[in-house]
Amino acid sequence: MFKITFFYILFAMFSTGLNILCQEISIRLYSGPYDIAVSIFVGTVSGLFFKYVLDKKYIFNYQTDNIKHDSRLFVIYTLMSVFTTLIFWGVEFSFHFVFQTKEMRYIGAMIGLAIGYTVKYMLDKKYVFIRE
């Protein structure tokens, strides 16, 4: 169990880093209406795909039967991500509105992602990567 926990935390940190990096790139490329919301969405999507691949292969050691099975599994994984994404976004947006700095917004993102990934693991274990 320690090995899975270690790698899950490591992958969550990588995904969080990717999320923040993509947010920063988005902000540098686009600074119009809703730029913060757009950057958070871009970061979320990039982290979602990256984390799905790592979770499926290394955390849950899950093999899909075919592309249809993999697609269905990704949809379920994404649906489970909706709740945890709301946690993450809530914390990040709260830090943005309270502190009004990019650095504190990113701290909020890291805290929100840590909470969200913890909940996400429990949901994935129970509802996504199950043997039928």
Q: Which pLDDT score, from 0 to 100, does residue 38 have?
A: 96
**Domain span at 22:** 2-128
Using H for helix, E for strand and C for coil, what is the string for the chain?
CHHHHHHHHHHHHHHHHHHHHHHHHHHHHCCCCCHHHHHHHHHHHHHHHHHHHHHHHHHCCCCCCCHHHHHHHHHHHHHHHHHHHHHHHHHHHHHHHHHCCHHHHHHHHHHHHHHHHHHHHHHHHHHHCCCC
Q: Which pLDDT score, from 0 to 100, does residue 94 have?
A: 96
Q: Which pLDDT score, from 0 to 100, does residue 36 have?
A: 93
Q: Which pLDDT score, from 0 to 100, does residue 24 have?
A: 96
List the pLDDT tens digit at each of the 132 positions of the chain: 789 989 998 998 899 899 999 999 999 999 999 999 999 999 999 989 999 999 999 999 999 999 999 999 999 999 999 888 899 899 999 999 999 999 999 999 999 989 998 999 999 999 999 976
- How many domains are contained in the chain? 1
